[in-house]
């Protein structure tokens, strides 16, 4: 079989963050990030969709075992981000602004190193029902 198939895993996590650039004064941060620059932080109910694409294995019929994918997401994303303040509680955003774009890129990197390089990986992250980012685009 040489036909590629995409498999998807949807997960959910809650996290707080603050968008700001420490090199800017409060006025500029407010102008650029608005309410998202709240010094007391704010939170989101993120929805994560991980897409893995490849040719199904001729012996198993799997592109990737979904239990393994679920475990990878739990261990390498949810355990690190769920119910956390991304700015304060994670190493990833100590010096990186935790925008949806940057969160998506970090999640991609965390999973990419754990998933067979022969498989294509795409991460879609919904920050709200109407706002989402995707990598690679």
Catalytic residue set: 36, 83, 127
| 76 vs 111: CA distance, rounded Å | 7
Cα 116 off chain centre by: 18
- Region of residue 34 (phi > 0: left; psi between -120 and 50: alpha; otherwise: beta): left
In whole angstroms, what is the distance from residue 38 CA to residue 95 CA? 17
């Amino acid at each position: 079989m040489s036909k590629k198939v995409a498999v998807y895993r949807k997960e959910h996590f809650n996290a707080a963050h603050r968008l700001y650039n420490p090199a800017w004064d409060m006025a500029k941060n407010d102008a650029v990030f608005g309410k998202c620059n709240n010094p007391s932080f704010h939170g989101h109910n993120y929805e994560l969709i991980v897409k893995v694409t490849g040719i199904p294995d001729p012996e198993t019929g799997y592109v990737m075992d979904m239990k393994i994918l679920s475990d990878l997401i739990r261990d390498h994303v949810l355990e690190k981000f769920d119910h956390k303040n991304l700015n304060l509680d994670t190493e990833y955003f100590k010096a990186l602004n935790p925008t949806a774009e940057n969160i998506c890129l970090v999640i991609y990197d965390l999973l990419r190193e754990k998933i067979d390089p022969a498989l294509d990986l795409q991460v879609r992250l919904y920050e709200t029902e109407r706002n989402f980012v995707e990598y690679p685009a």
